Structure 1
Amino acid sequence: MADQAQQLREMMKGREEAPVQEKKNTRIIAVTSGKGGVGKTNMSVNIAIAYAQLGKKVIVMDADLGLANVNVALGIIPKYNLYHVIRKQKRLEDIILDTDYGISFVAGASGFSKIANLTAEERESFVVELASLSSADVIIIDTSAGVSANVLSFVAAADDAIIVTTPEPTAITDAYGIIKIIATEIDSLNLGLKLIVNRVKSVTEGKKVAERVINIAGQFLNLKVDYLGYVYDDLSVPQSVLKQRPFLVNEPNGKAAICVKHIVSRLEKVEYKEGGGVGRFIRRLIGRM
């Protein structure tokens, strides 16, 4: 893997400056979780829509290269996905799909276990293609669940990493687990690490779960994790999933939708920092490869 990474860096010499010449500082947010089933993809899609409602140009990229499902949440059947880009059958700009919800999205590739398994040539092509996303204000990257090398690559390269958990004991344990691995595996932790507690019954429950995770991370890992907010356990969410429509659109005044709007407001106003842009994201991603 190290040899392939070196080859990629050599091939990228003279090209790295091109992606950096951006018209805007794109903010790149990776959304991840320690386990599946906590609502990570739902959070990614609806956070993107909330950003779009603020007038931002938003792209959601499904970075799950094994079990991609952002398209399911959006009710869209894509003809092409990242597999075709990586295999040089399509350009990334050719597979970006507009939606009825004010956001665009890039479908994930099914069948790949991780980017690290790609050849140097395939990774070079993929990295160069990422530069075409730099016209967006915000890119939401929906990673796969768990702690694969692929997940860590996207988390390390992003400006912010949002970890989604629920009040379930297993979900809390897995949330701490992925935070621990992020703290130990990523050498330079320059990203903002944030926590969302999904499916809470009350404000108090969300706060208690967050305090538990944050306190343990601070005590044992010396790592600061910001509590971004909670999302209520709202019947409109599973109903929206069945309809394959984002709950922010299907039930815009529902409890879950209002919570997500508050979360995006906090992302914009509380300790807000401009994104490093696609260029910096690409350089960090290369480093992880």
Structure 2
Amino acid sequence: MGGGKGGIGKSFLSANICVRLATLGYKVSVVDLDLGAANLHTCLGVPTPRSGISDFIHGNVSTLEETGIPCCLPNLTLYGGGQEFWQQIKPQSSQKIKLISKLQELDADYVFLDLGAGTHIHTLDFFIFSHGGILVVAPEPTSIENAYVFMKSVLYRKIQSICKGFEIDEALENELLQRISSPRSSETPFSQLVSFSQKNREVGKLIKEMIEATNIGIIMNQVRTKEDRDLGESMSVICSRYFGFSSQFLGSTRYDDAVWKSVRVRRPLILDYPLSAIAVNINQITDKITKMFIQDDKKDNIEKAG
């Protein structure tokens, strides 16, 4: 779960959606990848983890499972991010690949990645390597603007990863990246990709199909008006048309004082205020998530969301 701006409720939503999934009987792992500013444990009501993802990255523990701690439900496990400064963590490429591999091997029906704000390359990589990304947006101009920057960055990084993975000619990669990132172009990034694929059919078709297969769900958090909610629907449409992703509006959550009350007492809202308007919204969003990320039988229906 990612977003272009901090303070928009990513950790709160990650925690409560995972609690909801656990109450439905799913085995859930939630991973705090806001390295250097981890606070998912606060939303779940558990003490600061003694060891976390950073310990696994740097080899202080031998397995990722050693950093997992039980939460408020027996089938919910938290993998904390640690409290180190970002510069103390800073995973290398090989460490990041190792972590992604081990996250995919976790024994869980759902693995949620709670990512840091912004468009750092590590954040983008965890987002695009997940089976599906969830973008959280608040109905305010700064959040919406940053969300579009985040989606464009995801597109850019995804193309880089595809080109590297399939050993696509560097000149072709640079041509496409320059096209989609040009601030002077009147065409959308996806239109630029379509034009590129018509000129470079084999390579372009591969990239275009992989971009179109990228699942992104959008949540509009803490809405006050119908216009706020409608923004989420509009962003989902634009996400598909402008960037080419397979996007879906997962729903919105109402502005509710129960949010700050639950965070203050360090308890998941979904447990303490199950009849609140926002709890109902979270239940509805969770139901959509269970239907959105469908995996094939070869992966035993294990679903992962970033």
> Which TM-score band applies after superposition, normalised by the shorter structure?
0.7 to 0.9
Unpaired runs of at least 5, structure 1: 1-30
Residue pair 1:116, 1:149 contacting (<8 A) in 2 also: no
Give aligned-pair identity as a percent. Answer: 27
Structure 2 distance, partners of 1:124, 1:174, is 27
Residue pair 2:294, 2:303 contacting (<8 A) in 1 also: no
The alignment's C-alpha RMSD in Å is 2.7
- 1:231 aligns to 2:201 (yes or no): no
Task: Give the match for residue 79 of structure 2.
Answer: 106
Q: How big is each residue's C-alpha offset from its partner over 1:27-78, in whole Å with a ceiling of 9 and x where there is no partner?
A: xxxx001100110110111110111111100000001112111112223221
Unpaired runs of at least 5, structure 2: 160-209
Q: Residue type matched to 1:136 in 2?
A: A
Task: Give the match for residue 200 of structure 1.
Answer: 223
Q: Residue type matched to 1:273 in 2?
A: I
Q: In the TM superposition, what is the alpha-carbon distance from 1:274 to its structure 2 partner?
A: 2.1
Task: Give the match for residue 57 of structure 2.
Answer: 86
Call closer, same or farther: CA 1:123–1:179 in 2, change over 3 Å. closer
Structure 1 distance, partners of 2:234, 2:128, is 24
**SS of 2:86's equivalent?**
coil
Residues 1-289 of structure 1 mapped to structure 2, 5 A cutoff: 31-75=1-45, 76-90=47-61, 91-102=63-74, 103-109=76-82, 110-113=84-87, 117-118=91-92, 120=94, 122-123=95-96, 126=99, 129-130=102-103, 132-133=105-106, 135-187=107-159, 188-189=210-211, 190-202=213-225, 204-269=226-291, 271-274=292-295
Q: In the TM superposition, what is the alpha-carbon distance from 1:129 to its structure 2 partner?
A: 4.1
Structure 2 distance, partners of 1:261, 1:107, is 24
Q: Residue type matched to 1:160 in 2?
A: G
Residue pair 2:136, 2:220 contacting (<8 A) in 1 also: yes
Residue pair 1:158, 1:191 contacting (<8 A) in 2 also: no
Residue pair 1:92, 1:132 contacting (<8 A) in 2 also: no
Structure 1 distance, partners of 2:44, 2:240, is 37
Structure 2 distance, partners of 1:60, 1:177, is 26
Q: How big is each residue's C-alpha offset from its partner over 1:90-128, in whole Å with a ceiling of 9 and x where there is no partner?
A: 1211110001234110000333359874264x4565456
Call closer, same or farther: CA 1:119–1:248 in 2, change over 3 Å. same
Residue pair 1:32, 1:162 contacting (<8 A) in 2 also: yes
Call closer, same or farther: CA 1:52–1:281 in 2, change over 3 Å. closer
TM-score (ref. length: structure 2): 0.73
Q: Residue type matched to 1:263 in 2?
A: I
Q: Residue type matched to 2:268 in 1?
A: P
Structure 2 distance, partners of 1:88, 1:45, is 27
Structure 2 distance, partners of 1:117, 1:104, is 23
Call closer, same or farther: CA 1:158–1:272 in 2, change over 3 Å. closer
Residue pair 2:31, 2:79 contacting (<8 A) in 1 also: yes
- Which segment drifts farther, 241-250 or 186-195? 186-195
Q: How big is each residue's C-alpha offset from its partner over 1:222-246, in whole Å with a ceiling of 9 and x where there is no partner?
A: 4442110000101100100111111
**SS of 1:237's equivalent?**
helix
Residue pair 1:50, 1:264 contacting (<8 A) in 2 also: yes
Q: Residue type matched to 1:193 in 2?
A: I
Structure 1 distance, partners of 2:10, 2:122, is 16
Structure with higher RCO (Cα < 8 A, 6+ apart): 1
Q: Residue type matched to 2:112 in 1?
A: I
Structure 1 distance, partners of 2:115, 2:216, is 15
Q: Residue type matched to 2:37 in 1?
A: L
